[in-house]
Homo-oligomer: A and B are copies of this chain.
Amino acid sequence: MITLYEQADSGNCYKVRLVAAHTGRPVRRVSVSSRDGSTRTPEFLARNPIGKVPTVELEDGRFLAESNAIMLHLAEGTSLIPADAYDRAKAYEWLFFEQYSHEPAIAVRRALSVYPERAALATPERLAQLLEAGNKALGVMEARLTKADWLAGDAFSVADIALYAYTHTADQGGYDLAPFPGIRRWLDRVAALPGHIGLLD
């Protein structure tokens, strides 16, 4: 069984649990957090030198970090990785888009809004900048989801899991999804899938 070092309400950690749920893989969960310093201990840094969650210990004792890399590894050989080469490349494209253009706005603005110790960093300028960047990322998703059910190819994939993780809590960061009906329908579609689990399940 794999061990997931996680912070319970982290969308990046949720991605790993969603892939595990959809592929029927049990997960042992260990709670650590940047909020209490437990991701900066020598013991944790030996597992992941970047000191971030999620970090996974595989069955053979080796470690793997970066949420989207963990997803690609756990999903190999399953339908969560598109079989068609172009669809697979588009899934990769969405994964990198998520980490470069989506998460640094939408997840960060949520953290600034939800975690009291981050409030000092939540200047009006920063919040405005993150709102604009996040809405731009949501616009890119909406353009796809008004004409297709899923982000990459014609089936649910790791791309949908990666973007679902923080999009479904975007309201906690002050994002209004009312102008994005394609995204709202897609969120419902993901949540209705057999095997789906919630962020705090």
Chain A residues proximal to chain B, CB less than 8 Å:
49-50, 58, 62, 64-70, 72-73, 76, 85-86, 88-90, 92-93, 95-97, 99-101, 103-104, 140, 143
Contact = CB atoms under 8 A, between A and B. Distances in A.
A92 B66 contact: yes
Contacts of A143: 49
10 A-B pairs with the lowest CB-CB distances in the bound complex, closest first? A69-B92, A73-B89, A66-B96, A69-B93, A66-B93, A99-B100, A72-B92, A68-B96, A69-B96, A99-B99
Main SS of chain A's interface residues?
A: helix
Contact of A73 (B58, B72, B92, B140): B92
A76 B66 contact: no
Interface centre among A68, A73, A96 (most CB of B within 10 A): A96
